[in-house]
Amino acid sequence: MEPVVGATPKVVKSDQEWREQLSPEEYAVLRQAGTERPFTGEYTDTKTTGIYECRACGAELFRSDTKFESHCGWPSFFDPSSSDAVLLREDRSLGMVRTEVLCATCHSHLGHLFEGEGYPTPTDQRYCINSISLRLVPAE
C-alpha cells in the first residue's frame, strides 16, 4: 500500500507481521486494498447495535446508529464515529476517480466514500465498507 501523504499511522507493523495477524482474505482487503464480493460480507444486513472496529488494529471506526440500508452489497454508514477515525485519499484505480477510506490508526483499506447519491441520510454520504475490514462489538 502507498503511504498516506502527511499522515503517520499510530500502529505500524511489517508486512510479515500483518500477514501473520490477518487471514489471507483479511490481508487482501485491509493491506492490499482488495474488495470482498458484494452481498457476501457478514455485516451487510446486520442490525445489531454496537461499535464497528478496524479488524486490523481495533480502532473504533463507525457506530451502528450511522449504518443504513443502501442495498449496494456492502455495509454502508453515513458518518464515521469521530472526525479523525478515518482518512480519505484519492483512488484512481480501475480507470475511475473515487475516494478511498482508510483506518486513521493503521492505514488499512476499509472501502470507499460516495457522495450525492440521494440517500435520506444527514450527510448525503455513503461510506461503503468491506465487512472483512470490520469487527462488530455488540452493545451490552
Can you give the residue range of the structural domain that contains 123? 15-138
Report the chain's mean pLDDT, rounded to a whole number: 93
Asked if residue 71 is part of any domain, the answer here is yes
Asked if residue 113 is part of any domain, the answer here is yes
Catalytic option among 54, 57, 106, 128: 128
79 contact partners, CB below 8 Å, separation of at least 6: 62, 66, 122, 123, 125, 127
Asked if residue 130 is part of any domain, the answer here is yes
Identify the CATH number of the domain in which residue 35 sits: 2.170.150.20
Asked if the model's pLDDT at residue 2 lies above 80, the reply is: no
Asked if residue 8 is part of any domain, the answer here is no
Instruction: Report pLDDT for 117.
Output: 94
Q: Which residues of 82-113 are buried (b: 16+ CB within 10 A; e: fewer)?
A: eeebbbeeebeeeeeebebbbbbbbbbbbbbb
Asked if residue 10 is part of any domain, the answer here is no
- Rounded distance, CA 85 to CA 42, Å? 22
Identify whether 106 is a catalytic site residue: no
Instruction: Report pLDDT for 107.
Output: 95
Asked if residue 4 is part of any domain, the answer here is no
Asked if residue 6 is part of any domain, the answer here is no
Please give the average per-residue pLDDT across 109-125, as a whole number.
Answer: 94
Predicted confidence band of residue 97 (pLDDT cuts 50, 70, 90): confident
> How many structural domains are present in the chain?
1
Asked if residue 47 is part of any domain, the answer here is yes
Instruction: Report pLDDT for 95.
Output: 83
How does pLDDT run across 18-47, given as a tens digit for each residue? 999 999 999 999 999 999 999 999 999 999
